[in-house]
Chain A
Amino acid sequence: MEIQGAETLGVLILALPALGAILAGALGPRVLKGASHWPVILGVGGAAVVAMVLLSRTIAVGPDALSHPVIYEWFAAKQGSWFNVELWLDPLTAVMMAMVTFVATFVVVYSKEYMRHHDHPERGYERFFAFLGMFVCAMGILVLGGNFLLLYLGWEAVGLCSYLLIGFYYEKPSAAGAAMKAFLVNRIGDFGFGLGIFLIYLTFGRLDYHTVFAAIDAANHHNADAIMGLLHIASPVEALGRIELIHSRLPAIALLLLCGAVGKSAQFPLYVWLPDAMEGPSPVSALIHAATMVTAGVYMMVRCGLIFTASDTVMTIVAVIGAGTSLFAATIALVQTDMKRILAYSTISQLGYMFLGVGVFAAGSAVFHLFTHAFFKALLFLGAGSVMHAMGGVIDVRRFGGLRRIMPWTFGTMLIGSLALAGFPLFSGFFSKDEIIHHAFVRNPVLGIIGLVTAALTAFYTFRMMFLAFWGQERVPEGVHAHESGKWILVPLCVLALGAAFAGYVGVHAESGGFLGFIQPDDNPADPHTPWHSFLVKVTEPFNVEHGGEVAAAGAHETAQTHGGETAHEVETGHGGEAAHGGVLAAIMHHWMMYLSGLIAIGGIYIAYLFYVRRPWIPQLIRSSLPEAYQVLWNKYYVDEGYDKAVVRPLRGAGVACFRIDEFFIDGLIWVITAVPRLVGAIARTFQQGALQGYGLTMAAGLGLIVLLSLWW
């Protein structure tokens, strides 16, 4: 069903931040100077208001809401077919856009104070805000775009903004290098992503979501007539062939798109750029490298659910990558001492959870975790930035401590963020993470156990960071006058803290059966009870097909085809069968799971308390008794070193070899070829004496020679 005024709202969301960015960029250096934040604050804030309107209208329409207005025809592809600038507005878009613009608004407000020192704007102040506005616009294109071309455009544009902002302090070699690394590593993923889009075009001849998804749906139902209509195919035989083609190519398309997602969302093995990206200013880490851009991969996989769910193998790969990355990054975070890097590894780990969620067919839960994570991780990064601001740029938790009393507001809000990240019961992260772990258990206990272990590690390293920074003896780096930040920093922290505390409640049961019913996850994604999942039920529909193997898929298939009275009956029997199958076990497991993950979070926090407040000699003892393990973690499993040996050095070697070939062989060849004219020139040059008389004499001598010769003959 159409959303009222969808086109206007969508265009406004894109135009306002872009306008702000242009104003800040054009007028900033000469006119606005220290007030360059205003156009961007107003632009992004305006976009946030519009996004809220869009969200409320979408909610009013319900889960079936879908508008795909064409803004204008972009360029002709083949005869009669156009690539359009078009939007795609549905519940997922609305939720993503509301979250992105909301977080962005407060990040921009925060930056107003953060990017100043002693109320004096930093160098490049207007550049910073222009890039932020540009980023919000790019992220809008990514999320709102109605075809794969615009998705790719937004995808690359956010990558560009990320590059520009990581390298904001471009005079610093480490920042310039980190920016380059982020760009190049993303390039590897985006190469696959681009190939995936080419393959979509080759398979469907179109790139707009509407046609592609409708065609996949028709192919799934072997509906040749629909395929003929959608893809403009003349003969039914050809249409049947096309259905075969679509089925055979979907896994390949999914794998190629997955490449892009792995790069952008910093999953193993392409995660290495994200920790280095912390060289950028903290607001950038909060907005781009925690809340929004890095979740684009998850968004894309959910958006392309029909493509990804076509193959179980692909889904398993997604789940394994997610689970593996979440555990892997969490272990690295255990020993890091740079506050922002701890948070960066934590982001990688949480993105792993989201991948795990998608991979175990719990797309709604994955997006739910994306949503709550945006609040608490942005909050934690902004809090870390506030600490860094107060500590004069120092972010190593070994160099300060006991900041609890110096920075009470920063401490309080970060504590809420940490509780949410650790999955402490009743904070937002608890609900979303629990759902993913639950679904992982249903799918495969090994994945579930990995999820639980990671949850424990998460609670531990988060509070290790908190205890080191905020507890213990008051300690600040020398020569630093530590102080609480001003209100431009604290207000965004407080707002995001509210989000971190309460965002999870959109995912709890509307009509609850006591406390247990209140917090238990939606066990059947096809029939959700919570506001969140019922809102997204249409978007995550492709992910429901699978649950319970092929029989259930066939059942769902039949159900979809029968209309009327029989449908309800079949759904009921399906339910009954499932309950008889493992209903009791599942019900017990739900509640145990919930207690267990709550306990695990509390346990992790307690162990961190024991280790870093009560008995600081324990971690020392562990470190000295397991020096190898500590070294491996401290050096991040030597992955960067491994890449250096396996990829960077051979590539550089190849580059040097190419350079040498160019220098000696190609240039040598050219030298030989040019030697002939040069030799001729060297001889001919001697004829030019320059003096007029010389020329005259030569002419006279020539004349004399001719006369003599003519006399001779």
Chain B
Amino acid sequence: MPDSGAYIILGALLFAVGMVGFLARRNLIVMFLSTEIMLQGVLLNLVGFDRMYPSVDGQVFGLFVLVIAAVEAGLGLGLVVLLFRRKGTLDSEVWATMQG
């Protein structure tokens, strides 16, 4: 039975990895992957806090978020495919059209 603090630390690490990946990489799929990793980090946090304060609410909530995440992943990948078809590249730089 590891200390629940370990869950929190692992969740924080996962979030940090995802964030760095999102900020550092230009490839849309990798960036998308990074957001998923961040999401998993947050989920792990939920589960960890659930262990800290005995209840199952956090785990149930985690399951729901997983389902939503799966759906959202399908949608997100679909969007990435569409973006790729538009410009023929996965480089996120080409979509910098909103610059004010």
A contact residues, range: 10 to 19
Closest Cβ of chain A: how far from B11's Cβ, in Å? 14
Indicate if the CB atoms of B98 and A697 lie closer than 8 Å.
no
Per-residue CB contact flags for chain B residues 68-81 toward chain A (1 = under 8 Å, else 0) read: 00000000000000
Chain B, 14-40, contact with A by CB distance < 8 Å: what is the 0/1 string? 000001001110100001000000000
Decide: A693 and B100 in contact? CB cutoff 8 A: no
A679 at interface by CB-CB < 8 Å? no
- Contact: A692 with B19, CB < 8 Å? no
Is there an interface contact between B19 and A696, defined as CB atoms closer than 8 Å? yes
Alpha-carbon separation in the docked complex, A688 to B96 (Å): 10
Q: Mark A656-697, 1 if CB is under 8 A from B, else 0.
A: 000000000000000000000000000011111111110011
- Residue of A686, A687, A697 touching B23 (CB-CB under 8 A): A697
Please name the residue on chain B nearest to A685 by beta carbon: B100
Is residue A700 within 8 Å, beta carbon to beta carbon, of the partner chain? yes
Contact A693 B19 (CB under 8 A): no
**Bound: A613/B57 CA distance, A:** 122
Task: Give the chain B neighbours of A687 by CB distance below 8 A.
Answer: 100
State whether B31 touches A692 (Cβ < 8 A): yes
Residues of A within 8 A of B19 (CB): 696, 700
Contact of A696 with B96 in the complex, beta carbons under 8 Å: no
Q: Which residues of chain A are near B93, meaning CB under 8 Å?
A: 691
Q: A685, A686, A687, A700 — which one has the most chain B CB atoms within 10 A of its CB?
A: A700
Q: Is the CB of B99 within 8 A of A688?
A: yes
Contacts of B23 in A (CB 8 A): 693, 696-697, 700
Contact of A690 among B22, B24, B98 (CB under 8 A): B98
Q: In this assembly, does B55 line the interface, its C-beta being within 8 Å of a C-beta of chain A?
A: no
Alpha-carbon distance A687/B98, docked complex (angstroms) = 10
Q: CB < 8 Å: which of A686, A691, A700 contacts B100?
A: A686
At the interface, yes or no: B95 with Cβ under 8 Å from chain A? yes
Specify which chain A residues have a CB less than 8 angstroms from the CB of B98 in the assembled complex: 688-690
| Closest residue on chain B to residue A691 by CB atoms | B96
> Which residues on the A side are within 8 Å of B95 (C-beta)?
690, 692
Give complex CA distance A189, B38 in Å: 82
B92/A691 in contact, CB under 8 A: yes
State the CA gap A685–B93 with chains docked (Å): 19
Could you say which residues of chain A place their CB within 8 Å of the CB of B100?
684-690
User: A696-B22, A700-B19 are contacts. A690–B97 as well, Cβ < 8 Å?
Assistant: yes
A685 to B24, CA, bound (A): 24
A252 vs chain B, min Cβ distance (A): 66
Query: Which of B31, B92, B93, B99 counts the most chain A CB atoms within 10 A?
Result: B99
Residues of B within 8 A of A689 (CB): 96, 98-100
**Interface members, chain A 435-477 (any B CB < 8 Å):** none
The residues of B that contact A684 with a CB separation of less than 8 Å are 100
CA distance A685 to B98 in the complex (A): 10
A697 to B31, CA, bound (A): 13
Residues of A within 8 A of B97 (CB): 690
What are the residues of chain A within 8 A of B92 when measuring CB–CB? 691-693
Task: List residues 45-69 of chain B with CB under 8 A from any CB of chain A.
Answer: none
Interface centre among A684, A689, A691, A697, by most chain B C-beta atoms within 10 angstroms, is A691
Bound-complex Cα distance A489 to B63 (A) = 98
Q: For residue B45, give the distance in angstroms from its CB to the closest CB of chain A.
A: 14
CB of B99 within 8 A of CB of A690, answer yes
* Cβ–Cβ < 8 Å partners of A693 in chain B: 22-24, 26, 92
Contacts of B99 in A (CB 8 A): 688-691
| Complex CA distance for A692 and B23, rounded to whole angstroms | 8
Contacts of B22 in A (CB 8 A): 693, 696
| Whole-angstrom CA separation of A690 from B99 in the bound complex | 4
A684, closest chain B residue (CB): B100
Query: Bound complex: CA of A688 vs CA of B22, how far in Å?
Result: 18
Contacts of A697 in B (CB 8 A): 23
Q: Mark A341-376, 1 if CB is under 8 A from B, else 0.
A: 000000000000000000000000000000000000
Assembled-state Cα–Cα distance A330/B55 (Å): 113
A69 CA to B98 CA, complexed, in Å: 72
Closest A residue, CB atoms, query B92: A692
A690 to chain B, nearest CB (A): 3
Distance to closest chain A CB from B16 (angstroms): 10
Residue among A684, A685, A693 facing the most chain B CB atoms (10 A cut-off): A693
Q: Least Cβ distance of B25 to chain A in Å?
A: 8
User: Bound state CA distance, A304 and B95, in angstroms?
Assistant: 78
A691 contacts which chain B residues (CB < 8 A)?
A: 92-93, 96, 99
User: Which residues from B are CB-within-8-Å of A692?
Assistant: 31, 92, 95-96
Closest chain-A Cβ to B95's Cβ sits at a distance in Å of 7
Closest Cβ of chain B: how far from A695's Cβ, in Å?
A: 9
Interface residues as binary, A685-713 with B (CB distance below 8 Å gives 1, 0 otherwise): 11111111100110010000000000000
A697 to B20, CA, bound (A): 9
Q: Which residue of B lies closest to A689 (CB)?
A: B99
CB nearest to B20 among chain A residues: A700
Question: With A and B bound together, what is the CA distance between A696 and B95 in angstroms?
Answer: 14
What's the Cα separation between A692 and B95 when bound, in Å?
Answer: 8
Chain A residues in contact with chain B, CB under 8 A? 684-693, 696-697, 700
Closest 3 CB pairs of A and B: A685-B100, A690-B99, A690-B96
Add 10 more A-B contacts to A686-B100, A688-B99, A692-B95 (CB < 8 A): A687-B100, A689-B98, A690-B95, A690-B97, A690-B98, A690-B100, A691-B92, A691-B93, A692-B31, A693-B22
23 A-B pairs with C-beta separation under 8 A: A684-B100, A686-B100, A687-B100, A688-B98, A688-B99, A688-B100, A689-B96, A689-B100, A690-B95, A690-B96, A690-B97, A690-B99, A690-B100, A691-B92, A691-B93, A691-B96, A692-B92, A692-B95, A693-B22, A693-B23, A693-B24, A693-B26, A693-B92
